[in-house]
Structure 1
Amino acid sequence: MARGTVYKRCPCRDEQGKRLKICRKDHGTWWYKVEGPASAETGRRRQVAKGGFRTRVDAEAALTKVSYALEHGQQVFEKKTTVGDWLDLWLEELATKRSVKTLANYRGHVRDVWKPILGRVQLRSLTRQHVETALADLDNPIFRPAGAGNVGRRIAHRSPATIDGYRRTLRAALAVARRRGLIAINPAEGRMDAIPEHDRRSKLSIWEPEQTAQFLEHVAEDRLSALYELAAYAGLRRAELCGLRWQDVDTDGRGITIQQSIVEVASKELRPEDRICGICRHEHTSLLVKAPKSRAGTRWVPLVGAAQRALEARRAVVEANKQVCGARYRDHDLVFCHVDGDPLRPSSVTLAFEAHVAACGLPKIRLHDTRHGACSLLLAAGVPIEVVQMILGHSSPTVTRQVYAHVMKRSTAQQVERAAEMVDRFRRGHSADTPTDPDGVEQGGDGMK
């Protein structure tokens, strides 16, 4: 048990004006003092003290509770601990418990939003109003001078989903603080009024089937044509396409199993053990090979004939590259890779896709939007929503319904119409196109029925 002591404080002083160590008068309050964890900056042990207890027994009970918490690795803080202090400790504890990509996102949210806005607020004083005000500010347009901050993708406004992502990061950090008794409630839980509602009128950008066919014809001779085929028909994510291996392809070519992905992470966020490739022993700057982030992400995906033929052609190209490169070929078993076998950078795949879209004159969509197109094709063909969910790697059919609600309306209407035709074809003299008068009476050739 951590070392601690209890003592009484009162206004009584001795002849030299010093506080009395022992006072038998019935006044004053009881305190406890215990050695806390060492400071991460100085290495010195800190003392945690708390007072205001009416009796010695109350102070000893509180001391026992705090000592037990410290002995079992829990953190005990003084009242002056700030939100920034807690977030730093939370991130430090997560260093080995979360994936590199997830941890990088957490750090970015803490660095860019929560520490600048709420970092100096005392943890125990944090209220829901603090969080609401910070989230409301995130909905404002972004005015950032050129060259400042992240030099990557630029946006003029954050979406509701992005703002809610910031909230979820803070909620996760405060949930741990609440479990440890540092705060009574989690002010970042639940629906926040400051987060704008999603515009349910907005629709996903999806090509019509003939537009998808036009694009695939345009890229037929491209070195990544098979990648675009799989994106269009199988609905794979960009990271999954870059991480697909030949060992993940069924021997008969009828399907693939998603078991890994390749993502981009800032080099400073990578752990030392993740920097060096376990296959070629080289460093692929800012690239990380990782397993799917959920059980649903590890899945089997069927391939249509066009995708199967594209993979067969791709295999021939890879074998030819091996022959040309010889000993210089670094075999990572990747389906889609550079000529020398090294993994592709996902952002370069996106740039190549955007260049092809512009060249063939089609409406501008993202590479990720081809995943939406694949889903619409599956739903239009009558594939059950539960099967579509498994193919796309969603956690549940509910997620699929929420994301593709408007797509399902169209496919459902078509399926219902086909069901009605099964009855209508047996109805004599009835046609769906036969007009009716205002009273609902069908009109024949002479105007009467």
Structure 2
Amino acid sequence: MASMKKHIKKNGEISYRIRVLAGTRPDGTQDVRSCTWVAPRGMSEAKADKEAERQKAKFEDDVYNGRIAEMHPKFSDMMSEYIKHLEKLNKHSEGTIDTYCGYQERINDSIGDMRVDKIEIKHVQQLIYDLADGNKKKGFKPLGEKTVKNYRSFVKRVLDYSYRTINLARINPAPYAEIIGKPSQEREGYSIYEVKTILNAISESSLATKYKLFIVIAVFCGLRIGEVAGIRYSHIDGNTVNIEKQLRNTKKRGKQELRTKSPNSVRTIVLPGIANELLEQLKKEQKIEKVVLGEAWKDDDFVFHNNRGDKIHPDYPRKVLSKFCKDNGLPYKALHSFRHTFCSELVENEKASEISIKDISKAAGHGDTAITERCYVHRNKKPVSKAFEVYERILVS
């Protein structure tokens, strides 16, 4: 039901405050939407009253049909609405959406109950302090600088969306909050010697064929872990594999086959000879497994399965490699570190191998060459060392 209150100023201006009860919020408070209609100068009071009734009816209809957003929504509500908006746009990967959903708990703990129109720089700054410091009682670990920055960027986008939704002209405070947090450590790649040592040890071990194949593909092809786990037999054509999907473990739905990280991540890779040999061996073993497991085996076309016949958990090969390295006295950094070695070595040998940055970027499935250059070109310390050597020769000659 709509209500309206008329107000006449001393200068004769007539305005009408219209209020509509849109329902009850989850916390039990009333959700009241309101607007003000001002009669044009020169309009008689009788005509203004009549037009105000029409405006009231229109506003009430707009509210009940969802065309008028809540005037003072909480950040938590707008954050949930923004994530749903992104899902409808279908422009972001399911992995990105899952990451944003994971942000909600810690953000809600800090500014979730605040009205979006009341959030200022100091509130976003406090959120950043909370993220960087963590909270042991609530199980929140301190976050690194890079992750805190990602949180702030997300808050900025939610506020931008909120301001557009409620038609609020306001400067977004998020970019003005200073980033703090433990400096993000650059993930260390393996040396070529370390890679060869690990590969030799794996080839001579009794490790299950599926794990040998998983690690070999990760090493030789520089794939993301989810991309390896997401390979289907239908993606394989001879010694090439079309990388079309990734397998990720999401908080909401468990193991899910998702789109690749970016459109450029869809690419074709070439398997090394050793991978083809392992693949043929795996096919033979899986025929036996299917018979043993019977109906429990899920014939879903995935190359990598667990011991129960279901698609493999993307994180499990990492645990297998970690244990293998520990048991055999080998260096373990991360399964993903093989990808860093793949990119770094190609960048370092770019000129000698006649491979361009563009080619390397495509092989790695990066969104653009800027990512490749930013993440890997600076890893090559040789040009810098060369400069010092040249200057030394100048001084001592």
Partner of residue 334 from structure 1, selected from 302, 313, 330: 302
Q: Which structure has the larger Rg?
A: 1
C-alpha contact 1:70 1:76 (8 A) present in aligned 2: yes
Aligned length: 377
Matches within 5 A, 1:24-423: 30-33=15-18, 35=20, 37-39=22-24, 41=26, 47-51=32-36, 53=38, 70=63, 73-79=66-72, 81-91=73-83, 101-112=95-106, 114-140=107-133, 142-145=134-137, 149=139, 155=141, 157-185=142-170, 187=172, 190=175, 192-195=177-180, 202-220=185-203, 221-223=206-208, 224-250=211-237, 252-253=238-239, 255-266=240-251, 269-270=252-253, 286-382=254-350, 383-410=355-382
Distance 2:120 2:98 in 1: 26
Distance in 1 between residues matched to 2:222 and 2:173, nearest whole Å: 34
**Root mean square deviation of aligned Cα:** 4.0
Quote how far apart the aligned CAs of 1:196 are: 5.4
Contact 2:218 2:338 in 1 (8 A): yes
Note the C-alpha offset of 1:210: 1.4
Structure 1 residue matching 2:129: 3-state secondary structure:
helix
The answer to which structure has the higher helix fraction is 2
CA separation in 1, counterparts of 2:152 and 2:57?
35
**Cα distance in 1, alignment partners of residues 58 and 119 from structure 2:** 24
Counterpart CA distance in 2 for 1:76 and 1:106 is: 22
Q: Say which SS state the counterpart of residue 77 (structure 1) adopts.
A: coil
Q: Deviations over 1:340-382 (max 9, x none)?
A: 5311112222211211121232333111111111212322442
| One-letter identity of the residue aligned with 1:361 | G
- Tell me the CA shift for residue 248 of structure 1: 0.8
Per-residue deviation, residues 125-161 of structure 1 (Å, max 9, x unmatched): 2223321232133222x3515xx548xxxx5x31112
- The verdict on how the C-alpha distance between 1:66 and 1:219 changes in structure 2, with shifts beyond 3 A counting, is farther
User: Which residue type is aligned with residue 385 of structure 1?
Assistant: I
User: Aligned letter for 2:277?
Assistant: R
1:437, 1:40 → 2: CA distance?
A: 75
Q: Deviations over 1:288-345 (max 9, x none)?
A: 1222242112221223333333333333333343354455432121111124531111
- CA-to-partner distance for each residue in 1:203-258, whole Å, 9 max, x for gaps? 431111111111112222311101100111111111111111111112x21x2111
Please state how far the C-alpha of 1:31 moved relative to its aligned partner: 2.4
- Of 7, 10, 16, the match for 1:9: 7
Q: Distance in 1 between matches of 2:289 and 2:342?
A: 30
How far does residue 187 in structure 1 lie from its aligned partner after superposition? Answer: 2.1
Equivalent-residue separation in structure 2 for 1:167 and 1:313 (angstroms) = 48
Identity %, equivalent residues: 19
Q: Per the alignment, do residues 181 and 361 of structure 1 end up closer, same or farther by CA in structure 2, a change over 3 Å counting?
A: same
With over 3 angstroms needed to count, the CA separation of the structure-2 counterparts of 1:36 and 1:101, relative to structure 1, is farther
Alignment gaps of 5+ in structure 2: none
Q: Which moved more, 1:380-389 or 1:315-324?
A: 315-324
**Residues 243 and 262 of structure 1 are in contact (CA less than 8 Å); yes or no, is this contact kept in structure 2?**
yes
The corresponding residue for 1:446 is none
Q: Deviations over 1:381-404 (max 9, x none)?
A: 423211111121110000111111
In the alignment, residue 171 of structure 1 is paired with which amino acid? Answer: K
Other structure's SS at 2:298 match: coil
Q: CA deviation at 1:4?
A: 6.7
Quick one: distance in 1 between partners of 2:309 and 2:32?
57
Give distance in 2, aligned partners of 1:35 and 1:217.
73
Given the superposition, is the C-alpha separation of residues 118 and 219 from structure 1 closer, same or farther in structure 2, using an over 3 Å criterion?
same
Q: Secondary structure at the match of 1:257?
A: strand
Distance 2:258 2:307 in 1: 22
Is the contact made by 1:123 and 1:183 (CA closer than 8 Å) also made in structure 2? no
Q: Structure 1: where are the runs of 5+ without partners?
A: 11-23, 271-285, 418-431, 441-449
- Name the TM-score, length of structure 2 as normaliser: 0.79
Does the residue aligned with 2:263 lie in a helix, a strand or coil?
coil
8 Å Cα contact 1:261/1:291 also seen in 2: yes
